[in-house]
């Protein structure tokens, strides 16, 4: 006796896309979510809802928009984001590896998957606030990322869940998968545990794992990513503790992708250990601090340690969390002067943002108690100011080439002297977003064994797919990956369950 044709474990974006696709295939679908109803939706709920996909021009965006008559549209330059550019962006983080099969699928199905979501009532809005700057009366988008789901991550999850329930899907909260059931050959269900420890079997023809990576599990972080990673703050849900990956590996699944890699971002040093869904969703991202490209970052020894202006922040923010975590004491200061104050995102004006402020640079340095070597930070800032190329105009809408000259560690773009008070310094640490290593799936989303054969009845999607990201990440690719591989796994499991 089965409880559902298809069981989907998790209820984030990937799991929801899988559940919708499996319903479309005609399967009776039951989602099982570890969290209670409030925390259900996983990391997807914490996101800004931004999704990266291929488009040629504004006409490709219109069918996705909540308000295609937005009066700003005629004065907006969205540019284009070609498949080639997406490929180059991903290859830029591959450390010489060729494009993976997963990356090819992500690129090739990004646009049709966004359209599929829109057909299910999930609508999008241009990200004017964070992905465009105004120039000559026009909103100029940069970085290949233009749209986010209405009401960001919460809106995305709510809209996807509404679509799934409307199609007759079912969901159970407080149901943590603790084991996979097999009939000897195929996976035919899961064991779930309630918060009180009561265990129950749930039987099905197919199981889709959409239950995230291992970013919220300090033991697995240390095991796979490295020693200092037990210290990382977790930007999102406390529930992604890696059971999906571990249980599948226990059944002989292949370990796939870059297990040492993860997405990690500079975050407010004083944030709590996990993300906070209690605060209004538009403020949730505000523990993030990613305007380092407008200033400099120094560590406890008063040294800079990255090229803050290496690229648009979409292409650096997911790596710089790791760089911060690797500094002495696992923290750094981001230092800005008043020239860029208006350009700092809302997260720097957030009521809970921690910062020091002074009319003079010397006064600011005196306040940075955690900096062991104050003379060194003075020297670093003086050398930086002397190295700024004054001959090149500052322009945040492009990679302006306004760099430093003669420093051992350059700042390649947007380098302005830090010389106009008041000055501000924000303390940051590294916050892990999600992990890159995981399982391998075939073209139907079925989980592969070491010997390249699929494990019958077992499918996977979302963060727990390996091979999509290696040493970095172009912003907005995680949700698109979840949607592309979720839809694929839902199609695959739905087809299997209905034969
Ligand atoms: C603060 C923040 C901002 C982000 N912003 C963006 C953005 O704007 N754009 C973007 O593309 N990406 C963004 N990301 C990355 C993005 O969140 C992930 O790539 C994506 O949401 C992962 O989706 P998922 O469905 O795989 O996992 P999740 O959404 O995390 O869902 C996994 C679900 O599985 C459940 N679960 C875990 N273990 C079990 C178990 N044993 N049994 C049952 N259920 C279980 C969890 O509770 C959770 O609900 C952001 C992440 C964070 C944390």
Burial 475-494 (b: 16+ CB within 10 A, else e): bbbbbbbbbbbbbbbbbbbb
Q: 458: Cβ–Cβ under 8 A, 6 or more apart, which residues?
A: 180, 186, 187, 206, 207, 209, 248, 251, 253, 446, 447
Cα(236) to ligand 1 centroid in Å equals 7
How do residues 45-71 score in pLDDT, each as one tens digit? Answer: 999 899 999 999 999 999 999 999 999
Cα(121) to ligand 1 centroid in Å equals 21
Query: Is ligand 1 within 6 A of the CB of residue 433?
Result: yes
Select from 53, 126, 211 the residue to mutate for testing ligand 1; criterion: most ligand atoms less than 8 Å from CB. 211
d(CA 114, CA 118): 6
Q: Identify the pLDDT of residue 1.
A: 87
In the chain, ranges of CATH 3.50.50.60 domains: 4-215+436-497
Select from 47, 286, 480 the residue to mutate for testing ligand 1; criterion: most ligand atoms less than 8 Å from CB. 47
Q: Identify the pLDDT of residue 499.
A: 85
Q: 192: Cβ–Cβ under 8 A, 6 or more apart, which residues?
A: 32, 172, 175, 176, 177, 178, 199, 200, 202
Q: Identify the pLDDT of residue 147.
A: 97
The structural architecture, per CATH, of the domain 264-431 is: Alpha-Beta Complex (3.90)
Report which protein residue has its CA nearest ligand 1's atom 4.
47
Query: Is ligand 1 within 6 A of the CB of residue 236?
Result: yes
Region of 137 please: left (phi>0), alpha (psi -120 to 50) or beta.
left
Structure tokens at 78: 């969205």
Structure tokens at 77: 């330059």
Q: Confirm if 46 and 153 have CB atoms less than 8 A apart.
A: yes
Select from 445, 478, 490 the residue to mutate for testing ligand 1; criterion: most ligand atoms less than 8 Å from CB. 478
Structure tokens at 113: 């998957």
Q: For 4-215+436-497, CATH number?
A: 3.50.50.60
Residue whose token pair is 């302006």 = 400
Sign, CA dihedral 326-332-337-340, equals positive
Over its length of 499 residues, how does the chain's per-residue pLDDT go in tens digits? 899 999 999 999 999 999 999 999 999 999 999 999 999 999 999 998 999 999 999 999 999 999 999 999 999 999 999 999 999 999 999 999 999 999 999 999 999 999 999 999 999 999 998 888 888 899 999 889 999 999 999 999 999 999 999 999 999 999 999 999 999 889 999 999 999 999 999 999 999 999 999 999 999 999 999 988 988 999 999 999 999 999 999 999 999 999 999 999 999 999 989 988 776 655 656 788 999 999 999 999 999 999 999 999 888 998 999 999 999 999 999 999 999 999 998 788 887 789 999 999 999 999 998 777 889 999 999 999 999 999 999 999 899 999 999 999 999 999 999 999 999 999 999 999 999 999 999 999 999 999 999 999 999 999 999 999 998 889 999 999 999 999 999 999 999 998 8
76: helix, strand or coil: strand
Report which protein residue has its CA nearest ligand 1's atom 18.
478
Query: Is ligand 1 within 6 A of the CB of residue 261?
Result: no
Q: Confirm if 8 and 208 have CB atoms less than 8 A apart.
A: yes
Cα(134) to ligand 1 centroid in Å equals 32
Secondary structure of 246-288 in HEC code, one letter for each residue: HHHHHCCECEECCCCCEEEEEEECCCCCCCCCCCCHHHHHHHE
Which among 322, 323, 74, 309 is positioned nearest to 221, based on CA atoms?
322
β-pairing, 29-32 vs 170-172, is parallel
d(CA 315, CA 366): 33
DSSP string across 100-155: PHHHHHHHHHHHHHHHHHHHTT--EEE-HHHHEEEETTEEEE-TT--EEETTHHHH
Atom of ligand 1 nearest to the CA of 287: 1
How do residues 267-320 score in pLDDT, each as one tens digit? Answer: 999 998 998 877 665 565 678 899 999 999 999 999 999 999 999 988 899 899
Cα(10) to ligand 1 centroid in Å equals 9
d(CA 15, CA 37): 15
In the chain, ranges of CATH 3.90.700.10 domains: 264-431
């Amino acid at each position: 006796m089965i409880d559902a044709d298809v069981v989907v474990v998790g209820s984030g974006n990937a799991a929801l896309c899988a559940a919708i696709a499996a319903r479309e295939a005609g399967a009776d679908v039951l989602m099982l979510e570890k969290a209670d109803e409030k925390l259900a939706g996983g990391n997807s709920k914490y996101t800004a809802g931004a999704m990266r996909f291929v488009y040629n021009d504004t006409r490709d965006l219109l069918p996705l928009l909540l308000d295609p008559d937005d009066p700003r549209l005629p004065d907006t330059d969205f540019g284009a984001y070609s498949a080639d550019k997406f490929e180059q962006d991903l290859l830029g983080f591959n450390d010489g590896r060729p494009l993976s099969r997963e990356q090819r699928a992500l690129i090739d199905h990004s646009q049709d998957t966004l359209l599929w979501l829109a057909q299910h009532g999930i609508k999008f809005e241009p990200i004017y606030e964070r992905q465009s700057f105004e120039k000559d009366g026009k909103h100029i988008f940069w970085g290949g990322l233009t749209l986010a789901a209405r009401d960001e991550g919460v809106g995305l999850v709510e809209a996807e869940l509404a679509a799934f329930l409307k199609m007759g899907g079912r969901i159970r909260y407080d149901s943590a998968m603790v084991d996979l059931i097999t009939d000897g050959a195929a996976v035919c269900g899961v064991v779930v545990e309630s918060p009180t420890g009561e265990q129950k079997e749930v039987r099905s023809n197919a199981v889709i794992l959409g239950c995230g990576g291992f970013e919220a599990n300090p033991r697995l972080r240390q095991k796979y990513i490295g020693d200092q990673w037990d210290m990382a703050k977790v930007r999102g849900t406390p529930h992604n503790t890696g059971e999906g990956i571990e249980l599948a590996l226990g059944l002989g699944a292949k370990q796939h992708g870059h297990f040492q890699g993860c997405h990690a971002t500079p975050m407010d040093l004083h944030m709590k250990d996990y993300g906070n869904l209690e605060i209004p969703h538009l403020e949730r991202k505000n523990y993030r601090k990613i305007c380092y490209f407008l200033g400099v970052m120094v560590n406890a020894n008063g040294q800079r340690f990255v090229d803050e202006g290496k690229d648009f922040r979409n292409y650096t923010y997911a790596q710089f969390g790791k760089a911060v975590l690797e500094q002495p004491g696992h923290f750094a200061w981001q230092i800005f002067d008043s020239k860029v104050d208006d350009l700092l995102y809302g997260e720097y004006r957030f009521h809970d943002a921690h910062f020091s402020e002074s009319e003079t640079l010397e006064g600011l340095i005196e306040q940075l108690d955690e900096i062991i070597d104050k003379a060194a930070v003075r020297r670093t800032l003086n050398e930086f100011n002397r190295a700024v190329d004054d001959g090149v105009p500052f322009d945040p809408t492009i990679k302006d080439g306004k760099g430093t000259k003669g420093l051992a560690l350059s700042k390649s773009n947007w380098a302005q002297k830090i010389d106009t008070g008041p000055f501000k310094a924000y303390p940051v640490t590294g916050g892990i977003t999600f992990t890159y290593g995981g399982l391998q799936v075939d073209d139907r989303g079925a989980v592969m064994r070491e010997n390249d054969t699929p494990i019958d009845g077992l499918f996977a999607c979302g963060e727990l797919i390996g091979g999509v990201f290696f040493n970095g990440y172009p912003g907005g690719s995680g949700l698109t990956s979840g949607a592309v591989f979720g839809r694929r796994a839902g199609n695959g499991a739905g087809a299997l369950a209905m034969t």
